[in-house]
Amino acid sequence: MAKLPERREENLGGYIVHGVPFPINTDEESLAFLKKMAPIQIEQPYQITYLHSYGQDSPWFAGLANKKLLASQDGGSGYTYANPRGHDMFSGQETNWIDITDRPAKVHAFTVCHFGSEEFLPDTPFVLALVEIEGVNTLMLTRLMGLDPLAATLDWIGMNVRPHFLRNSKFKPTDVYFSPSES
Amino acid sequence: MRPVYAISGGVSKFAKARPDKTFQAIVKEAYDYAIQDIGLDFPTFTRLVDGSVASYFSDHFTRQLMAGIMVQDYLGLCPKPSHRVEGGGATGGLCFQEAWKSVASGHMDICVAYGFETMSHVETWKGNEFIALASDISVDYPVGGFYSGYYAMMVTRHMKEFGTTVEQMAHVSVKNHLNAYHNPYAQKPNRYTIQDVRNAPMVAWPLTRLDICVMSDGAAASILVSEDGLRKLEASGAVIPRPLVRVTGIGCGTDAMRMADRPHFDYDYFMENYATTVEKNSDDTRTYYKELWEHGTRYPGVHSFRAGRAAGNMAYKHAGIQDPLEELDFIELHDAYTSSEIQTYEDMGLCRYGEGGEFAESGKAFMPGIDYGLKLKNQPTLPVNPSGGLIACGHPVGATGLMQAVFATWQLQNTIKKHFGDDTLQVKNAKRGAIHSHAGTGTYVSISVLEHEGQEK
Cβ within 8 Å, pair A111-B204? yes
User: How is chain B split into domains, by residue range?
Assistant: 250-393+419-450
A-B contacts at Cβ under 8 angstroms: 144
- Residue A32 included in any domain: no
- Residue A72 included in any domain: yes
**A74, A139, A68, A77: which is closest to A105 by C-alpha?**
A139
Ramachandran bin of A134, using left for φ above 0, alpha for ψ from -120 to 50, beta for the remaining angles: beta
pTM for the full predicted model: 0.96
- Indicate the number of domains in chain A: 1
What residues of chain A lie within 8 A of the CB of B152, using their CB?
Answer: 111, 113, 128
- Residue A43 included in any domain: no
What residues of chain B lie within 8 A of the CB of A158, using their CB?
Answer: 160
Strand intervals (E) in B102-256: 110-118, 202-204, 207-208, 217-225, 245-254
Minimum CA–CA partner of A140 in chain B: B260
Strand intervals (E) in B258-360: 264-265, 299-300, 330-332
Of the partner residues B123, B142, B154, the one whose CB lies closest to the CB of residue A109: B154
Cα B119 from Cα B127, distance rounded (Å): 7
- Residue A47 included in any domain: no
The neighbouring-strand residues paired with B299 are B265
- Residue A140 included in any domain: yes
What residues of chain A lie within 8 A of the CB of B140, using their CB?
Answer: 141, 173
With an 8 Å Cβ cutoff, is B251 touching chain A? no
Q: What are phi and psi of A83, to 5 degrees?
A: -80, 155
Of the partner residues A82, A85, A173, the one whose CB lies closest to the CB of residue B143: A173
Give the closest-approach CA distance of B211 to chain A in angstroms.
Answer: 14
Superfamily the domain B250-393+419-450 falls into: Thiolase/Chalcone synthase (3.40.47.10)
- Residue A25 included in any domain: no
With an 8 Å Cβ cutoff, is A106 touching chain B? no
Of the partner residues B123, B144, B202, the one whose CB lies closest to the CB of residue A128: B144
Give the closest-approach CA distance of A25 to chain B in angstroms.
Answer: 24
Q: Are A80 and A99 in contact (CB under 8 A)?
A: no
- Residue A39 included in any domain: no
Whole-number Cα distances in Å, A102 to A67, A98, A105, B66, B394: 11, 12, 9, 49, 46
With an 8 Å Cβ cutoff, is A69 touching chain B? no
With an 8 Å Cβ cutoff, is B206 touching chain A? yes
Cβ within 8 Å, pair A116-B154? no
Q: Per-residue confidence of chain B (457 residues) as pLDDT tens digits?
A: 999 999 999 999 999 999 999 999 999 999 999 999 999 999 999 999 999 999 999 999 999 999 999 999 999 999 999 999 999 999 999 999 999 999 999 999 999 999 999 999 999 999 999 999 999 999 999 999 999 999 999 999 999 999 999 999 999 999 999 999 999 999 999 999 999 999 999 999 999 999 999 999 999 999 999 999 999 999 999 999 999 999 999 999 999 999 999 999 999 999 999 999 999 999 999 999 999 999 999 999 999 999 999 999 999 999 999 999 999 999 999 999 999 999 999 999 999 999 999 999 999 999 999 999 999 999 999 999 999 999 999 999 999 999 999 999 999 999 999 999 999 999 999 999 999 999 999 999 999 999 998 654 4
- Residue A49 included in any domain: no
Q: B153 CB contacts (<8 Å, ≥6 apart)?
A: A109, A110, A111, A128, A129, A130, B302
